[in-house]
Chains A and B, each alone.
Chain A
Amino acid sequence: ILNVEQSPQSLHVQEGDSTNFTCSFPSSNFYALHWYRWETAKSPEALFVMTLNGDEKKKGRISATLNTKEGYSYLYIKGSQPEDSATYLCAFSNTGKLIFGQGTTLQVKP
């Protein structure tokens, strides 16, 4: 059974704090690692699709790194803002399917 683990499950930070989450995934048969941002009552929004070991991607204040050999990815948010409050999902892709972690729910207090 392929397992994707995310930690922490939830996180409360103050506005302006920087934070990071972890996604662990199987290191064999790797195709891609996806990060999604999911706000309540909205569709999950794709943040990054990462395919190469050592990949680093950035979108504004959010960045992500990928280590396929050891099976982990980090998502970083620099200077968190209240609008960053959401659940962040990672998903491991192989054989044409996405296998999701449980998500990390971030709450940013003003």
Chain B
Amino acid sequence: GAVVSQHPSRVICKSGTSVKIECRSLDFQATTMFWYRQFPKQSLMLMATSNEGSKATYEQGVEKDKFLINHASLTLSTLTVTSAHPEDSSFYICSAQQTWTGTNEQFFGPGTRLTVL
């Protein structure tokens, strides 16, 4: 149980294009989903938290107009990197949480490697 999928696993795009990444909870309903980014040799950094049906909460320094997050259902959240530039090249990974347990237990997708040329 508690499987999260992420698609695509890898994407290469030209500078200026937009890229959409999907995160799905396959066997549970996720009230909250999280989006992280990881640069080489660094830790996973939280970008934003999204709750189904409401606007995402972005971490300090993360541009909400650049990284559009939609959490339209209890099993799907999407991250759209708009007008991507080479500095947006990174590893993006999502996680999902069923209900608040007090421990913030999260289940992760396998991640998406984005390369912007």
Contacts and interface: CB of A to CB of B under 8 A. Distances in A.
Interface of A: 4, 31-32, 34, 36, 41-44, 46, 49, 51, 89, 91, 93, 96-103
A98 B46 contact: yes
Contacts of A99: 46
Given A31-B104, A97-B49, A97-B104, 10 more contacts: A4-B43, A32-B102, A34-B104, A34-B106, A41-B110, A43-B110, A46-B107, A89-B44, A97-B34, A98-B106
Given A41-B110, A42-B110, A43-B110, A100 B104 contact: no
Contacts of B41: 102
Contacts of B9: 41
B103 A49 contact: yes
Given A41-B110, A43-B109, A93 B46 contact: no
A100 to B, nearest CB: 4
Nearest to B3: A43
Contact of B103 (A32, A42, A102): A32
A102 B45 CA distance: 10
Interface string B103-115: 1111111110000
B105 A34 contact: yes
29 contacts: A31-B102, A31-B103, A32-B102, A32-B103, A32-B104, A34-B103, A34-B104, A34-B105, A41-B110, A42-B110, A43-B107, A43-B108, A43-B110, A43-B111, A44-B93, A49-B103, A51-B102, A89-B44, A93-B103, A96-B49, A96-B100, A96-B104, A97-B104, A98-B44, A98-B106, A99-B46, A100-B44, A102-B42, A102-B43
